[in-house]
Structure 1
Amino acid sequence: MDIIKSSIKILIARVGKSASQFLAVVLFSRALGASPLGTYYPFIALLGIVSIPATFGLATATEKRISEGEDPERHLGTAITLRLGFVTIISIVLYVGRGYIDQFFGSELALLFIATLFAKQASDFSLNVLRGELRVGETALIEVIRPLCWLVVGYALYLEGFGVRGLIYGYLVGCILMAVVGWWKVSTGVSLPSLAHARSLLSFGKYSAIAETGGYIYSWIDVVILSLFVSYGITATRADIGAYENAWRLTLVVMLLSRSIATTVFPQFSRWESEDALKQIESVIPRATLPGLMIVIPAFAGTTILAEDLLSILFGPEFTVAALALTILAGERILQAFHSILGQVIWGINKPKLAAYPILISATVNLVLNVLLIWMFGIVGAAVATLVSSAVLLGFQIHYLRQFMEISLPIQEGAWCAVSASAMWVVVRLVYESMSVDSLLELAAIVAVGAVTYGLIIVLYKPLREFLTEMTRTALPVDSQ
């Protein structure tokens, strides 16, 4: 599997995915305002939290076992049986407690929530299987289906007067179509489950479950806690939740490349580990980390100037309440560019226990800080909690990885990116103070000025210039097959 080519495929598809998702967020923000989104986002947040026991680590465990190439059919059959059982049990619990679920949402959405849970689990699991087959690039277009349906179906239903419920229906339809296409492309057969294969999956999955818990806490616990505080009138409002989540999603745009590479490298790291080729993993780490850094560092620099304008012009004036939170989250993405890759290394070399420890610690820090800081500072506190817990996670990942291999990070290249971003900041600041930024065109123009400035300076450094040239040469040739 060619990591760069597969990463490019994933990146292209995720650009389309993010474009669809981002356009939907812009349209829904302007049409509905921040408060209704403050109801939709908790629905998706709770869906993620409930997915933790419903999945129980089987997503990564299945991907790992299938990528190893040993009896994949029996592993898949066992994984399907286990996962279906977990989802069914969770759904029964949710149905019994549907009154509390409706109270949390402030609307009768419990049954729709259960249906969406089944559809989401089926769609996500199909992608795990395809990645386990080392067909990461083929998952690219499938990932576009859900946000595209959310945009098209959700907006159509909004026009018909469905309101927030229309957005949820659009998400549900996207999950269903994604599951259909994903399982249609899966080539691994399904054999009868066995107790031995269940033990194999669960032995890996119990640690993966901790990782998934940490991932969901990282992504959604702030929204859940904000929603609980709003429900009890402690702090913040539904509009604050909508504004904060829009800021979060805006910063995800700069993580596209890092996440694409991270998605690609895990099955390859797993294969190299099974072949006892750790040196190959060591050589790839700095090369896998650098492309993301080259994007997130200047993005943070630009956000310190344009945060309020980005939120106001893209979503509306009421979303500017999240300007400071947006800046903090943009800074956190620099740390995420590192730990998104290093985390995949730990899983890939079959050290699930050591992968779980830092995630568990950082998730605990995240949870505690979210409660304290949201209570004290609202959505800014939520952003700070994310930043601190991300730094804790990265520190522990580096510490554990150094017990097994030499870790080489692109420090010099990253430093030059910081120098280039600083020069870009000066230019953008001068331009910003000399003009008004009142429209999307003016915002795009000032962003373009920054991008050109950064690009011109960054290629002055020979190692980065050679790296970019090599990436371009590797990505451009078309496969002959």
Structure 2
Amino acid sequence: MGQTKDQAIRDIVKGAGFVYSGLVLEMAIAFLAQVLAARYLSASDFGGVTAGVALLNIGAIVSSVGFGNGLARYFPRHDAATKSELARASFLITFPVSVVISGLVTLNAEFLAADVFGDPTVTPSILIFGATIPFAATLRVVVGGIQGQKNARYRVYVENLVRPVVRFSLVIVAVVYGLGQAGFAGSYAIPYVLGSVLAVVLLARTLPELTETWSVDWDLTRSVLRYSTPFILSATAGFIYRSADIFLLLYFLDSEAVGIYGVAYAAAKLMLMFSTAFNFMSMPVASELESGGGIAAAVDVQRPVLRWITAASIPVFVPLVLFSPEFISIVYSSRYAGGAVALSILVAGFAVHNVLSTQSNLLKALGRSKLIAANSAGSAVVNVVLNILLIPRWGIEGAAVATVISYLIYDALFTLELWYDTGEVILGRDLAEPVALALPLLAAVWYVKPIVPPSIAAIVVTTALFSTAFLVTLLVVTGIRPEEEMVILSIQERLGVESRHLNTLLERLS
């Protein structure tokens, strides 16, 4: 079942390229939907939708019992019949759990809104998103199965096409008919329903045996559960250090502050698209490599991936950090401009997390789910404590600082544990070089910023010029690694084209 290093890199890059294309499309559509929601809702109502989405996420995390991670790790290790039995077991376990949790949330929506969140106006969002929990839980599990099948195409169909397109269409309906908070909440919730149905159909296509019987290998299922259940704690803790600030802002301040912070947080998440694309294929590939010959091969494959993620992340600093006030005011509305500092803080933290978080794939491949859960729990505790201390003093900027610190602690733990477990340190020159080359270029953009017109066109042109200068500098100074040359040549071969000029350039830079 082993893979060569070159083939593993090809698989990751191929899958990442497909997922990245889907992510770009999804983010463009989701971005427009969010802008419409932010512009046509009051900051308070937008905060209600943001809180509702956060509640939906935690309900889905707990209801899925971590099976998404379990299927992603165990599918590459078994035949089709065994995979089908694992998928059936995941449905039989997660569906009733999700229905119970959904019922508890919807029946207590008014209590949660008034007494827990301290804002009765978010009741419609809690009702709608609470009822959607079973579908969101199913989606988490099935996408994990699709990931385990290493099928990037189906993941893109569900997560990057159907859900965002449906959401955008429904947001337009909510805008045209003035449906308010409930209408926008429904626009965000219904795509989970349709997405979960489509995901189940697509997974069944990759596993024809899935619907033949309802037999289940309960011995194997218990092994998968032992691996998967710690991810409930891990994902819940991850949710906490991603979303505790939302609930605590709602508690200490108000839903308007949540709306402003929600805009900053959503914009900062653009940074994470690069690691998301690579992680989708990196995790099952690492699992297959580890099962076939040890973790060393997976670590070797991970190093060039980190270089690409680092290089891809740096240009995002231009619009989201150097021009953060202009970006928020132009794209969303001037009433959200107060989130500019929080956006800059979050982007800086997410940039580091974008690179270091990929190490979790190696620990997942090693089966260290309990260790990952402990890391997440510790980081979550730090996040909550810091939010409680910093939000009353510094508001949304305090929430941003708390989030970034908790992410850095989380990533530092992964780095230390990977070194302790394997003796490998994947951080090094490949990461340092792009950062060192980017710093003077970012300083130059900051220097000329006062003469750049405050318009979206000017920001886009400035970002494009920076990206071009950075890429050329990186290639000239560091050259092209053998793995990168191999990938470029394989892409040419796959497309059936060959560029003599490109091959000449590769020879000079390699």
Say whether the fold is shared (TM-score over 0.5): yes
Q: 1:89 to 1:403 in 2, by over 3 A?
A: same
For structure 1, list consecutive stretches of 5 or more residues without a partner in the other structure.
Answer: 230-234
The answer to whether the aligner puts 1:59 opposite 2:68 as a matched pair is yes
1:248 maps to 265
**1:66/1:76 contact within 8 Å kept:** no
Q: 1:464 to 1:247 in 2, by over 3 A?
A: farther
Q: 1:464 to 1:428 in 2, by over 3 A?
A: farther
Bigger drift between 421-430 and 352-361 goes to: 421-430
Bigger drift between 130-139 and 297-306 goes to: 297-306
**2:250/2:257 contact within 8 Å kept:** no
- State the secondary structure of the residue aligned to 2:422: coil
Q: Distance in 2 between matches of 1:225 and 1:333?
A: 20
Instruction: Give how far 1:265 is off.
Output: 0.8
Bigger drift between 427-436 and 1-10 goes to: 427-436
Deviations 1:167-224 (A, max 9, x none): 2222222112212221111132343345424422321122111221122123212112
1:385 maps to 402
Bigger drift between 323-332 and 398-407 goes to: 398-407
Q: 1:479 to 1:176 in 2, by over 3 A?
A: farther
2:104 maps to 93
**2:274/2:313 contact within 8 Å kept:** no
- State the secondary structure of the residue aligned to 2:93: helix
**1:298/1:417 contact within 8 Å kept:** no
How many pairs align?
473
Superposed, 1:283-362 pairs within 5 Å as 283-300=300-317, 303-362=320-379
**1:38/1:239 contact within 8 Å kept:** yes
Instruction: Give how far 1:308 is off.
Output: 0.8
**1:48/1:220 contact within 8 Å kept:** no
Q: Distance in 2 between matches of 1:405 and 1:98?
A: 47
Deviations 1:301-357 (A, max 9, x none): 664421111111111111111111111111112221233210111011212122222
Q: 1:347 to 1:39 in 2, by over 3 A?
A: same
Superposed, 1:166-315 pairs within 5 Å as 166-186=183-203, 187-188=206-207, 189-190=209-210, 191-193=214-216, 195-229=218-252, 235=253, 237-300=254-317, 303-315=320-332
2:132 maps to 116
Q: 1:322 to 1:467 in 2, by over 3 A?
A: farther
Question: TM-score, normalized by length of structure 2?
Answer: 0.87
Instruction: Give how far 1:26 is off.
Output: 1.9
**2:64/2:138 contact within 8 Å kept:** no
Instruction: Give how far 1:38 is off.
Output: 1.0
- State the secondary structure of the residue aligned to 1:461: helix
Instruction: Give how far 1:475 is off.
Output: 4.1
Q: Distance in 2 between matches of 1:364 and 1:464?
A: 42
Q: Distance in 1 between matches of 2:491 and 2:323?
A: 32
Q: Distance in 2 between matches of 1:259 and 1:316?
A: 28
Instruction: Give how far 1:464 is off.
Output: 5.0
Which amino acid is the alignment partner of residue 422 of structure 1? L
Q: 1:92 to 1:446 in 2, by over 3 A?
A: same
Instruction: Give how far 1:270 is off.
Output: 1.3
Q: 1:62 to 1:416 in 2, by over 3 A?
A: closer
- State the secondary structure of the residue aligned to 1:478: helix
Question: TM-score, normalized by length of structure 1?
Answer: 0.92
The answer to whether the aligner puts 1:6 opposite 2:15 as a matched pair is yes
1:82 maps to 93
Bigger drift between 312-321 and 335-344 goes to: 335-344
Q: Distance in 2 between matches of 1:25 and 1:421?
A: 31
- State the secondary structure of the residue aligned to 2:476: coil
2:422 maps to 405
2:50 maps to 41
Bigger drift between 446-455 and 154-163 goes to: 446-455
The equivalent position to 2:389 in structure 1, one of 354, 369, 372, is 372
Which amino acid is the alignment partner of residue 423 of structure 1? P
**2:264/2:342 contact within 8 Å kept:** yes
Instruction: Give how far 1:11 is off.
Output: 0.5
For structure 2, list consecutive stretches of 5 or more residues without a partner in the other structure.
Answer: 1-7, 497-510
2:508 maps to none
The answer to whether the aligner puts 1:457 opposite 2:473 as a matched pair is yes
Deviations 1:439-481 (A, max 9, x none): 222222222232233223222223457665554434454379x
State, as a whole percentage, how many aligned pairs show the same letter: 21
The answer to whether the aligner puts 1:142 opposite 2:158 as a matched pair is yes
Deviations 1:347-386 (A, max 9, x none): 1121212222212211111121122211221111111111
Bigger drift between 454-463 and 157-166 goes to: 454-463
**2:77/2:288 contact within 8 Å kept:** yes
1:232 maps to none
Instruction: Give how far 1:423 is off.
Output: 2.2
Which amino acid is the alignment partner of residue 458 of structure 1? L
After TM superposition, the runs of 4+ consecutive aligned structure 1 residues lying more than 6 A away are none
Q: Distance in 2 between matches of 1:365 and 1:327?
A: 21
Bigger drift between 452-461 and 9-18 goes to: 452-461
